[in-house]
Structure 1
Amino acid sequence: MEEKKEEKVRISVRNLVEFILREGDLDSRQGGTADKEAMLLGGRIHRKIQRQMGGGYHAEVPLQIVVPCEKLDIIVEGRADGIIEEDGRTAVDEIKGILQDLDLIKEPKKVHLAQAKCYAYIYASIKELSEIGVQMTYCQMETEEVKRFYQTFSCEELKKWFFDLVHRYEKWAVFQIEWRQKRNQSIKQVEFPFGYREGQKDLVVSVYRSILRKKKLFIQAPTGVGKTMATVFPAVKAVGEGLANQIFYLTAKTITRTVAEKAFLTLKEQGLACKVITLTAKEKICFCEKAECNPDACPYAKGHFDRVNDAVFDMLTHTDDMSRDQIESYARKHIVCPFEMALDLSVWTDAVICDYNYVFDPNAHLRRFFGEGAKKEYLFLIDEAHNLVERGRSMYSASICKEDFLEVRRAVKEEDAKLGKAISGCNEQLLTLKRECPGHALYSSVSHLVLRLMNVMTEIERFLEECSQEEIREKVLDLYFEIRDFLYIHDKLDENYMIYTELTEEGKFYVRLFCVNPAVNLSEYLNYGVSTIFFSATLLPIQYYKKLLSTQTDDYAVYAHTPFPEENKRVLIGSDVTTRYTRRSEEMYERYARYMLETVRKKNGNYLAFFPSYRFLNDVYEAFLALQKEEEEIFCLIQDPGMTEEEREEFLNYFEEERDGSLIGFCVMGGIFSEGIDLTEERLIGTWIVGTGLPQVCLERELLKQYFDEKGMSGFDYAYLYPGMNKVMQAAGRVIRTDTDRGMIFLLDDRFLLRQYRAVFPREWSKAFSIRLPQTAEAVAAFWDETRTQP
């Protein structure tokens, strides 16, 4: 009797053909047109064509077939755009919306036709047909003109072709099943690798429970709780129990990725079988001097798709180490692009550590995970989640600049009169809007402009097919991407957006689509997950982040208690200084400098000072130098706005050195040194936070304020206070990193005494003391005297 196979692997028709049948060069000069088409189309063209068909046309027909293989069954499934049954014949219709001129389409694209042939075979086998037609319908999205290609295939011919296609995928499916069995077995042996810190076990339980219940969880957890392991460990356990299949650990900064990597490595030391990949930016991992992804400039791009599947399978089956070094080694061996290879590898790994944009950014997200037929079985662990609000706003906003259109028109008017005319039409619309704009103006719609932009897109598509002059081509392509992004975001406009025009001081005119609340757009991708865990040391007030990061009203939230002794830290509020613009003066800068000098004169050590801007930093620094005595051993470092990674490392390395005197790092709040750096024990004993961190008043912030005021919420808090206090708390979090750290936090602005600011303070600041400059030396001495007497 034949042994029953219980293992099954599912794959969509589209993913199957795009994976197995891809071939040729990697060439970014094409502009990724297919993806942009899909973005712009959004199903409208499909539905319009489907409605126009007769009674014998059945739209959006779900199809599925089980293909028995030696070790498992492969389920191939998808949804045919249309099934035509009329005049005694049956055909599958596959609809593709395009931006190109239809005259340029001489035959169906191979992958498009393959998709239709898969549906044709599945339907023919279900209905036991001897032959079936395949109709490819291409629709030009602006003109809505249609061009069709029709072929008839015998069922036997399709069967042979289809089974060959599936069997080429079989080795991948077998690898996936066998690896997951090995992984899940290893997870059973894994235990929490450390003794639980106070509150950490509760955090682990909360994460696991949220995953089990398929909920989102917001974690406000002070430094030292061990957030990374407290989220990674239960996520790994959940994967082992079949609650999810893949973990995305998302970060905003490179340094936090390293912490995540260490957490997985620690679990691997217990025997965890887990393939973990960290995605490296293209510019960093590219083998060439300049990241030009085309076969003329890069030998790794030429024929990349002919070889990349072999490269990926080779690496997956010979090592569990998915490090950058290994990826580069296998990429060189198979002569493929290391960046694109890493993206392909990520599909087969158990955990992906990457920047937010790989999941959420419409221009950069991993379509392999978030496209048609994607399995919704991911866990999202979002580190430093407070950063996602502003990043989300940026990713889902778009703008066009009138001057960019003029520049491209000048470049092409002699080359292509038709494109020049289309751009001129757009420029006229922008000129009309500019005349209506005193400085800025709000609009409820710019749909009249969108029609012009779509016309320009069509002409650019045609032009790029023919243009051979690289300099002109590059300018036109930049405008193409600008328009494409604008149209894509325009398609998303809802009550979470503001449309406005702006005439800048430099004389440039912009039309902007501003995403005020990114929660709806973020949820489009978060819905691919079983559960999402947002965590940060500064996620206060929690309702603010819930409102801007999630559309659900029943999300969970946890406030973890700090495991560190309260007496190890002293928070002092300087009540006689302020960074308010109206009170800035030489005398005020000098007072800030004196706070710093009084502190270091009482206690030598390493300190960081955080300022609201580089200008304020420099003004206080000059005052500090003027007051400092020649014999005082105080070494100062200044953060530079354009620091390279090497310069950042050099800056931090100074804090590792032994010295007799003191070291002060002058930095800006919200910058590279105000979060994600770990200076434990004596490497940092204090910080001065100069000002409340409020963003500068600008048009965008004022629009945010207006939007939330109109919604009945405190616009000032949403636009200024909460983002500012987040920067303050992040900067303060540099001081106490372990249970043996001791240090002081100076909040130097009288506004910190106001109720609305103190309402956002974390629990750990409940005993903040108010002082004036003359009391500084005494307060510093008292704190360090107390710490000396502690056990």
Structure 2
Amino acid sequence: MPDAQKEVKISVRNLVEFIMRSGDLDNTRGGKIDTEAMQAGSRIHRKIQKQMGANYTAEVPLSITVPITYEDVLFDLTVEGRADGIILNEVKDRVDSDKISDEYEELPEITIDEIKGVYMDLHILKEPVAVHRAQAMCYAYMYAVKNGHEKIGIRLTYCNLETENVKYFEEVLSLQDLAEWFEELINEYAKWAVWQMKWVVKRDEQIKKLDFPFAYRKGQKELVTGVYKTILRKKKLFIEAPTGVGKTISTVFPAVKAMGMGIATRIFYLTAKTITRTVAEETFRLLAQKGLNMKVTTITAKEKICILAKPDCNPVSCERAKGHYDRINDAVYDMLTSENEISRDSILYYAEKHKVCPFEMSLDLSLWSDAIICDYNYVFDPNVYLRRFFAADKKEDYVFLIDEAHNLVDRAREMYSAVLYKDDFLEVKKFIKELSPKLAKLLDNCNKELLKLRRECDEFEVWEEISSFYFSLLRLMTEFETFLQENDINEGREEILKLYMDIRHFMNIYELLDDNYRIYTDYDESDKFRIKLQCMDPSKNLSGCYEKGRSAILFSATLLPIRYYMDQLGGTDEDYAVYAPSSFSKENRLVMVGADVSTKYTRRNEREYRKIIKYIKEFTDAKTGNYMVFFPSYQMMQAVADLAKEELEGLVIQDSNMTEGEREAFLENFVENPKESRIGFCVMGGIFSEGIDLKYSRLIGAVIVGTGLPMVCNERELFRNYFDEKKGKGFDYAYLYQGMNKVLQSAGRVIRTNEDRGAILLLDERFLSPQYYQLFPGEWFPFEIVNLNNIRNTIKSFWDKS
């Protein structure tokens, strides 16, 4: 085994949380709702540490390296971390034994302090949490060994984050007892460490032999090289790559090679939609067929992988939850030593075999995986990000491959925003008023604060500050946590827990408020009053996430203008941007713009709709085949469809709330080599405008009705004013770029392979304005300007050449 593989490092926290967990999965009590509740409160840490005086040393790095032999493998295990505090226990006149009281005879020279910020009432805490005590014991053992102490103290300091009341748990431990405990702990971990060392050697040997699985297309080798160099240089790369360039393999392959060279330790393939997750899985599967050995885990949303109709993680509702933690490590080890592709189906199989929660199992498997395919949320969302990878301040050699990166702008803005509804406080108050009059009163206080804000909000109001409301929330949360700890809730449990989590998120986002935020109140579609902390520019928050890794590669078929996306997605002047040339022949694509039609709101009438229908008819009559027509809204799509049913044959229409089965049935209409034309009416930005892959004759044309601009609304105007002030480009940032991205994505459904041939018709005179056509991708030039009089000849001429 190479020398580089003979040392294994693990943090104190990861070690104890992995080895010492036991018992049930349980969401019925407040302390279990948020597994990180005990980890909150770095402000309190600093405050307590500053108050402790000269005998207290804060944030002390500690580590110990222990030689271990397991399965004939000799290696060094380094356990490392940072103790919150080291206390020097000075006792006056210690040298005069006659003056030392019984109280001080057992007082050790040193005590290790472990601080935890909590929201719960400290009176309910009767003993320290086991994993917290274990962390303190690890630090105590490290310190005692290093400094030759035969006995040492540990202290668990719990501090309520709202009241700042403190509760201590203290004990004195002998070095011998600590040594025996620590040896048992690391021996339990040894089998995992040895498995991983052997696996990494095998994996890297295979990666080094791996070749690119295809003949390189035009510009593809340069793209692959650029990705590798970006990872090597610890930068970010923004890739605008048209369909057919092979974005997925061109980013996955160099990331895998970087792993084989020891440059990257883990790959996160991040997606916005299930369909792109499938493409990533297929890419890793293809490389596996070429000899790649990698553990690749796909994380599926809890709602989709749960064995219950609706997730309810507690031993009463779910048989898997009872004793889950007693069985989970055996389940994970079984699957790791049996499978490389850790997919949704295989996770379900092993979770059933060991009677554990499949979702929690997938998260645990990810810890031992080389690559993780998952939604953006698991890296970027402050509520659900994978804390096991990103909670510590330590930077790791992770590579983030961010697919369909254009989606991340709006997704990130929402992740880093928070909203609360006034009615929710009143609803929860009804459920708990008999159980806790005190909590009911605090809920009512928050409601009154919102009532004050509502009185000053006719329709939409922007606020400079809301400190009075925030402090009411702060007072509420301590009592809320206590209530959840002390009560088994039946009636209204879902509503109560949701409000609790919504408030927690709101308070966390409140701590992030800066000039990248705006606070506003308004009314939703149901006329419910709400208050929102709106993230206007997510770049700072995203940059903080990138800092946890080594490199980020962001790619999409539509990242135009590239500077806008770099600006919003946390790019810097030191990062790179490339436009990958299309590998398609321009002769295979026809792009037309209708010059005598408009979808402006003032022109949306029957006359204009009938003109749109004539364009669609001329476009689809030219050749029998499958077509899609994309509209800016369901309302407009339906209005045109009602008029078109008699004129257009083979019409199928997207519904607003389609199930997975209904989506598949819709796409099954688009068969290869159809005998009759099929015309699908769809919505821009919807489920059929991204991700679907109808190759060859399954789709030969797309009509894009309108520029895709978002509806004018108060929030959108807030963005416009904000970016006018910050960038001088309010309309572009709030409306234009988002609209044109929808246009480009919809048009991208046509021509998926080098053999495809297809036509695109853009219906809106605004496309002929430089403001719009300057955002066309390079391969769309030159485009044809058409009207109802000449479109038939133009389209016929194109098809006649095929």
**TM-score band, normalised by shorter chain:** over 0.9
Cα deviation, residue 164, structure 1:
1.1
Matches within 5 A, 1:435-584: 435-504=455-524, 506-584=526-604
Task: Say yes or no: does 1:256 pair with 2:276.
Answer: yes
Task: Identify the match of residue 266 of structure 1 among 279, 286, 299.
Answer: 286
Task: Say yes or no: does 1:53 pair with 2:52.
Answer: yes
Match of 2:739 in 1: 724
Cα deviation, residue 238, structure 1:
0.4
Distance in structure 1 (CA, Å) of the matches to 2:730 and 2:38: 37
Q: Which amino acid aligns with 1:397?
A: S
SS of match in other structure, 2:709? coil
Match of 2:28 in 1: 29
Cα deviation, residue 657, structure 1:
5.0
Structure 1 373/708 Cα, relative in aligned 2: closer, same or farther at 3 Å?
closer
Task: Identify the match of residue 784 of structure 2 among 751, 756, 769.
Answer: 769
Distance in structure 2 (CA, Å) of the matches to 1:460 and 1:84: 34
SS of match in other structure, 2:694? coil
Matches within 5 A, 1:288-303: 288-303=308-323
Matches within 5 A, 1:687-766: 687-766=702-781
Cα deviation, residue 409, structure 1:
1.7
Match of 1:74 in 2: 77
Matches within 5 A, 1:611-760: 611-628=631-648, 634-760=649-775
Cα deviation, residue 239, structure 1:
0.3
Match of 2:95 in 1: none
Contact 2:112/2:155, CA 8 A, preserved across alignment: yes
Task: Identify the match of residue 351 of structure 2 among 331, 352, 374.
Answer: 331
Deviation string, structure 1 residues 112-140 (Cα, Å, up to 9, x no partner)? 11100110110111111111111111111
Structure 1 272/506 Cα, relative in aligned 2: closer, same or farther at 3 Å?
closer
Distance in structure 2 (CA, Å) of the matches to 1:10 and 1:468: 41
Distance in structure 2 (CA, Å) of the matches to 1:638 and 1:4: 62
SS of match in other structure, 2:202? helix
Task: Say yes or no: does 1:589 pair with 2:609.
Answer: yes
Matches within 5 A, 1:345-360: 345-360=365-380
Task: Say yes or no: does 1:231 pair with 2:251.
Answer: yes
TM-score, L = length of structure 1: 0.96
Contact 1:359/1:365, CA 8 A, preserved across alignment: yes
Match of 1:166 in 2: 186
Distance in structure 1 (CA, Å) of the matches to 2:702 and 2:433: 58
Q: Which amino acid aligns with 2:125?
A: I
Distance in structure 1 (CA, Å) of the matches to 2:677 and 2:415: 42
Cα deviation, residue 55, structure 1:
0.7
Q: Which moved more, 1:433-442 or 1:585-594?
A: 433-442
Distance in structure 2 (CA, Å) of the matches to 1:144 and 1:743: 66
Distance in structure 1 (CA, Å) of the matches to 2:408 and 2:768: 28
Structure 1 110/347 Cα, relative in aligned 2: closer, same or farther at 3 Å?
same
Distance in structure 1 (CA, Å) of the matches to 2:34 and 2:305: 25
Match of 1:207 in 2: 227
Match of 1:85 in 2: 88
Structure 1 67/206 Cα, relative in aligned 2: closer, same or farther at 3 Å?
same
Contact 2:277/2:373, CA 8 A, preserved across alignment: yes
Match of 2:629 in 1: 609
Structure 1 705/759 Cα, relative in aligned 2: closer, same or farther at 3 Å?
same
Cα deviation, residue 568, structure 1:
0.7
Task: Say yes or no: does 1:424 pair with 2:427.
Answer: no
Matches within 5 A, 1:107-186: 107-186=127-206
Q: Which amino acid aligns with 1:193?
A: P
Q: Which amino acid aligns with 1:87?
A: E
Distance in structure 2 (CA, Å) of the matches to 1:395 and 1:280: 19
SS of match in other structure, 1:706? helix
In structure 1, the gaps of 5 or more residues are 629-633
SS of match in other structure, 2:17? helix
Task: Identify the match of residue 308 of structure 1 among 328, 336, 339.
Answer: 328
Deviation string, structure 1 residues 201-259 (Cα, Å, up to 9, x no partner)? 11001101101111100000000001111101101000000111111111111111111
Percent same amino acid at aligned positions?
55
SS of match in other structure, 1:627? coil
Contact 1:14/1:373, CA 8 A, preserved across alignment: no
Contact 1:5/1:73, CA 8 A, preserved across alignment: no
Distance in structure 1 (CA, Å) of the matches to 2:285 and 2:440: 57
Contact 1:368/1:374, CA 8 A, preserved across alignment: no
The alignment of Structure 1 onto Structure 2 pairs a total of residues equal to 779
Distance in structure 2 (CA, Å) of the matches to 1:393 and 1:367: 20
In structure 2, the gaps of 5 or more residues are 92-108
Deviation string, structure 1 residues 48-107 (Cα, Å, up to 9, x no partner)? 111111210000101011011012111101000000003152100011111111110111
Distance in structure 1 (CA, Å) of the matches to 2:375 and 2:412: 12
Cα deviation, residue 4, structure 1:
8.3
Distance in structure 1 (CA, Å) of the matches to 2:115 and 2:608: 68
Contact 1:12/1:373, CA 8 A, preserved across alignment: no
Structure 1 30/552 Cα, relative in aligned 2: closer, same or farther at 3 Å?
farther
SS of match in other structure, 2:195? helix
Deviation string, structure 1 residues 282-317 (Cα, Å, up to 9, x no partner)? 122222233211100111110000110111011112
Contact 1:694/1:721, CA 8 A, preserved across alignment: yes
Distance in structure 2 (CA, Å) of the matches to 1:408 and 1:527: 39
SS of match in other structure, 2:550? strand
Contact 1:92/1:116, CA 8 A, preserved across alignment: yes
TM-score, L = length of structure 2: 0.95
SS of match in other structure, 1:87? coil
Distance in structure 1 (CA, Å) of the matches to 2:53 and 2:557: 60
Cα deviation, residue 531, structure 1:
0.7
